[in-house]
Amino acid sequence: MNRIYTDTLIVGSGLSGLSTALSVAEKGGQVILVTKESIDTSNSASAQGGIASVVDFSTDSFEKHIKDTITAGCYLNKPEVVKFFVENGPESINHFKNLGCRFSKNGYGHLDLGKEGGHTARRVVHAGDMTGYELIRSLKQAVLKHPGISILEHHTAVDLISTSKFMLSDKNRIIGAYILDPHGNILTVVSQTVLLATGGCGKVYLYTSNPLVTSGDGVAIGFRAGVPTVNMEMIQFHPTILYHEKATSVLISEALRGEGGVLVTKNGAEFMEQYHHQGSLAPRDIVARAIDHELKKSGDDCVFLDMTKLKKEFLQTRFPNLYKICLKAGIDMSTDPIPVVPAAHYMCGGLKSTPSGKTVIPGLFVSGEIAHTGLHGANRLASNSLLEATVMSKYVAKEIMTYFKEKKEQIPDPPLWSEDTVTNRDENVIVKQNWDEIRRFMWNYVGIVRSNKRLDRALARLELIRHEISEYYWNFKISKDLLELRNITLVAEIIIKSAIKRKESRGLHFNIDHPSSFDTATDTEIFPEEIL
């Protein structure tokens, strides 16, 4: 089975991938869904906070949610796009209710609404502190039962197949992808459409809240196929990741601060009021920079999130999973402040697309974190990520089905993958060395605070590594580790060149050599011909 045929190939099994797969299949399309690990492993499944959506119109409004989103995004957002997502929020909540998602309720039987940084009203619909897990659970049940969906776990996308790449047509379009199976074989999947829904790029950085599957694969694959990126310098660092040797990459949800948690120094002193009028509930970019500044000033390894003023029973009920995780690490959050540090969390830029997932290449769609729609601007408002994924997947499915109807011509058979000229690898240490070096200098030079000199140093080193990796890629048999290394190298270069292009500080991008913001917010685009 060297070639596999389907209507839609979906790469990624997070909220966007699963939701779109189900919608397309319910409309009669045949779907192959490829995921790098198991279907349960994704950024979406790890999401704690919830879905930001206006539910209580007596205390909230679409206008308030739109304003909060654009304020947090430092006016780099597209207002019409923000309006589109915000106004579609309530329908998405109802959709997941119908799927059997068990959202938390208050004592009156209504949805319990949380509040997080940057929000001026309670509007975060959640399922305890495991919202992502619950959303994926409800979706997975429906996806696994549907006969129109085939799932390939532990399969890794290599590259997209386009008609222009192999001169199969005078009109360029995407007609499938090469996929690496768990045994090292390359499958040729031929499809009418491809959806990239691979999530973010947290693994590009040394410290991240993301699961280790998030190596920016979709951005790299789409970019190599010809899709430009927008605002990739805008990498969100979540302010509060648990700092403990017994529990790595554990995100301490912003919802804790929404319920009254306060950030303090080692000595117990509150410090966020010095940086923003919302204190510990300021937007994430401000909180992350404030913590970074406090740590550099004090020399301490971490700051602390103090929840001790809240009752133990409330904490155990509202945050059952986090309470257990902290307890396993020897921290009782009802009596002990939680040690926290910032870490790479979310990609606010991405592949350029419409809110319904269309890219500049016919047949190629994107959804979720990988897509730059204009919703998030220079800094994502908390819990708007799940809002984007839930709303977008519905409209992406519609676009895919419309494309089916419009494209009548038969797909030409692309060539099979050839490894006639490659040999088996004998030096895995080269992959590991480059991997570690990229993640470390991205953290040190292209992190929360940047400078011209740091960016130039990162780029100079990366260009040398990229040449080495390219030579390795074309001369040795492909592996999952090599593919991830190739992808994080390209994504890192896109981030650096985007950061160099932006001659101001705005939102998540802070450059000490350009500390002011321009009067007008503009996007940073990187085109494939600038790098490839």
Catalytic residues: 284
Please answer whether residues 193 and 458 qualify as being in contact, where contact means their C-beta atoms are separated by less than 8 angstroms.
Answer: no
Please answer whether residues 44 and 386 qualify as being in contact, where contact means their C-beta atoms are separated by less than 8 angstroms.
Answer: yes
First to last CA, the chain: 32
For residue 19, how far is the Cα from the chain centroid? 16
Residues with Cβ within 8 Å of 107's Cβ and at least 6 positions away in sequence, in order, are none
**338-347 β-sheet, strand order:** 235-242, 338-347, 303-306, 262-264
Q: How far apart are CA 325 and CA 342, in angstroms?
A: 18
β-pair type (124-125, 51-52): antiparallel
Backbone angles phi, psi at 309, to 5 degrees: -85, -10
Please answer whether residues 480 and 428 qualify as being in contact, where contact means their C-beta atoms are separated by less than 8 angstroms.
Answer: no
Q: How far apart are CA 448 and CA 438, in angstroms?
A: 16
Burial bucket for residue 409 (CB in 10 Å: 0-12, 13-18, 19+): exposed
Angle subtended at Cα 367 by Cα 361 and Cα 369, rounded to the nearest 5 degrees: 120
> Letter for the amino acid at 15?
L
Q: How far apart are CA 369 and CA 284, in angstroms?
A: 17
Q: How far apart are CA 392 and CA 371, in angstroms?
A: 10
Residues with Cβ within 8 Å of 141's Cβ and at least 6 positions away in sequence, in order, are 100
Q: How far apart are CA 494 and CA 490, in angstroms?
A: 6
Q: How far apart are CA 101 and CA 91, in angstroms?
A: 14
Tell me which DSSP letter residue 185 carries: P
As a three-state string, the secondary structure of 330-352 is CCCCCCCCEEEEEEEEEECCEEE
Among 130, 164, 151, 156, CA closest to 30: 151
CA atoms within 13 A on the CB side of 220: 21
Q: Look up residue 133 and give its two tokens.
A: 């897990």
| DSSP 3-state of 295 | helix
The CA radius of gyration of the chain, in Å to the nearest whole number, is 22
Q: How far apart are CA 258 and CA 278, in angstroms?
A: 11
| DSSP 3-state of 510 | coil
* DSSP per-residue letters across 69-97: HHHHTTT-S-HHHHHHHHHTHHHHHHHHH
CA atoms within 13 A on the CB side of 509: 34
